Structure 1
Amino acid sequence: MAILTQSGRAAMAASIKTQPIHLAWGNGNPDWEDDKSAEFSFADDQIDLGQTYIKELVIKSQDEQTTYTQGVDYNADSVTGLISRIPAGNIGSSDTLLVSYVVDTPPEDISAGQLIAEIGRRMADEVVFCVPDEQGDLVTPTGRFTASEQPTNNLHMRFTFDFEDSPGEIIRELGIMVNTALAENLPEGQKYFQGADITDPGILLVLEHTVPLVRTAATRETFSFVVTF
């Protein structure tokens, strides 16, 4: 059986390292992590919330005096957002209900080719080979690493956004982009790019959905990733 060797993986990392690398950020879906509530009644013993990936579901009677129990009064599919009435339970087929829930941030889609709603992207400050090291000084959410002068199958990437990069926006998604093509005659030294600055978005290498981050002109966000090939 053919295998991709460690040196082959290092060669892939080395190839990526030579290309333009940016971190794009975007609004994602504004419903993610948002509180929702509405009145519903069952039709054909089922409610469709019109949202996928829900959490913290609470169903009460219209007067809010009764809180119904999942598995006794109803069943809910947290992925599809469908709620089914249990006939033997305490919810009548014509009862009006107060339903509240939070829209959960969905898992990343491996087939995604771009962000849902990109705001802009910034050039990488640092891209280096690295190796896992519990005492390493490259700290990421996935562990600690030490830089390596020799090619490895791990690339550490660091991106630091500036104060004036899209203040007031809410960030819910991040994407490492490879081979972004930029417009000609941009100002020398420009590192943050939006809209007309970009002629080809390139290839989405890594996608991450994040908890909502509110941008302000008083902060500079730094993101560190290790991409393993």
Structure 2
Amino acid sequence: MAVLQESGREFLARALAAQPLYLAWGRGLPAWDAEIPPEPTTATTLVDEIGRSLITAVQYVVPHADGEIELPDGTRYTASAQPSKWVHARWTFDYADAAGETVRELGVFIGGTVQAGLPAGQRYFTAAQVLTPGELYTLERFEAFTRSASTRQVQEFVLPF
């Protein structure tokens, strides 16, 4: 059986880091408030996308017991000057992005396109401004929360290869 090698994993991480990465949030379905369904492995879009933000920062990381980047499961990473098989991605949403919306799911998308003619420097795009969603890399469903205009939302992921 063939085994994916470290150099191949690092190549995939470099290829991903060179692409436009978006974090999209969606309303999901109100029925999920009673019981959150498991994430499918065949999804290509969110159930009801609200909007998406272009990545704010990307860097390579490596596992480190005292690392400054901590995941919910307690795993820690530290930044690496050299490419690795882990990519740390961060998205910072502005205060007004999706303010008042109920969010139940999010997804990391690789690539995709938005409408032409939007203001230069625009980083947040409503679902109506997205022409093609790109490739859905990861999908997460969770307990609903309402976006507040008084909170600057930051989302971070360590994407493994």
Task: Bin the TM-score by the shorter chain.
Answer: over 0.9
Query: Contact 1:156–1:227 at 8 Å: present in 2 too?
Result: yes
Match of residue 23 from structure 1: 23
Question: Would you say the 8 A contact 1:173–1:209 is kept in 2?
Answer: yes
8 A contact 1:13–1:154 mirrored in 2? yes
Equivalent residues in 2 for 1:175-190, closer than 5 Å? 175-190=107-122
Structure 1 residue ranges without an equivalent (≥5): 34-102
Query: 8 Å contact 1:139–1:224 — kept in the other structure?
Result: no
Q: Which residue is equivalent to 2:104?
A: 172
2:143 and 2:57 map into 1 onto residues whose CA distance is: 24
Separation in structure 2 between the aligned mates of residue 193 and residue 26 of structure 1, nearest angstrom: 13
Determine which structure has greater relative contact order: mean sequence separation of CA pairs < 8 Å that are 6+ residues apart, divided by chain length: 2
SS of residue in 2 equivalent to 1:111: coil
Task: Give SS of 1:156's match.
Answer: strand
5 Å-filtered alignment, 1:77-226, equals 103-142=34-73, 143-226=75-158
TM-score scaled by length of structure 2: 0.95
**Which is greater in Rg?**
1
Structure 2: unaligned runs, 5 residues or longer? none
- Distance across 1 between alignment mates of 2:120 and 2:150: 25
Cα RMSD for the two superposed structures: 1.1
Distance 1:118 1:178 in 2: 15
In the alignment, is the contact (CA less than 8 A) between 2:52 and 2:127 conserved in 1?
A: no
**Which amino acid counterpart does residue 27 of structure 1 have in structure 2?**
R
Equivalent pair of 2:111/2:135 in contact (CA under 8 Å): yes
Is the Cα contact below 8 Å between 1:170 and 1:214 reproduced in 2? yes
Aligned residues: 160
**Distance of 1:176 and 1:200 partners within structure 2:** 14
SS where residue 30 of structure 2 aligns?
coil
Q: Aligned letter for 1:183?
A: Q
Tell me the percent identity: 42
Deviation, 1:137, is: 1.1
Taking structure 1 as the reference length, the TM-score comes to 0.68
Q: Tell me the CA shift for residue 182 of structure 1.
A: 1.8
Distance between the aligned counterparts of 1:27 and 1:195, measured in 2? 11
Q: Which amino acid aligns with 1:226?
A: V
* Whole-Å separation in 2 of the counterparts to 1:228 and 1:29: 28
